[in-house]
């Protein structure tokens, strides 16, 4: 198992982080830690540490995160 930290920009509105967590769960990732880097009127930036099985698994979760509306992996 590996820990992978994703820095993501998330549109600042209700339910948006829940969609991010759902995408990680869909990819069978396990959230270990969340750090808020910045909060703005329109976006927040968070670092989310996720336990993954291998590098390919980490890449798949990044793809799933990028598929969420108004979310971007930085």
Give me the domains of the chain, ranges plus CATH numbers: 2-73 (3.30.70.260)
3-state secondary structure of 53: coil
pLDDT value of residue 23: 98
pLDDT value of residue 26: 97
What is the C-alpha end-to-end distance of the chain, expressed in Å?
23
Q: Retrieve residue 6's tokens.
A: 């994703």
Q: 5 falls in which pLDDT band (50, 70, 90)?
A: very high
> What pLDDT digit, counting tens, does each position of 35-72 carry?
999 999 999 999 999 999 999 999 999 999 999 999 99
Cα separation, 32 vs 27, in Å, equals 15
Predicted TM-score (pTM) of the model is: 0.94
């Amino acid at each position: 198992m590996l820990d992978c930290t994703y820095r993501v920009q998330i549109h600042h509105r209700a339910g948006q982080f829940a969609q991010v967590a759902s995408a990680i769960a869909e990819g069978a990732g396990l959230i270990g830690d969340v750090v808020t880097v910045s909060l703005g009127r329109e976006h927040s930036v968070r670092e989310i540490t996720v336990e993954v099985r291998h590098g390919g698994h980490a890449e798949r979760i990044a793809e799933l995160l990028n598929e969420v509306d108004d979310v971007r992996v930085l």
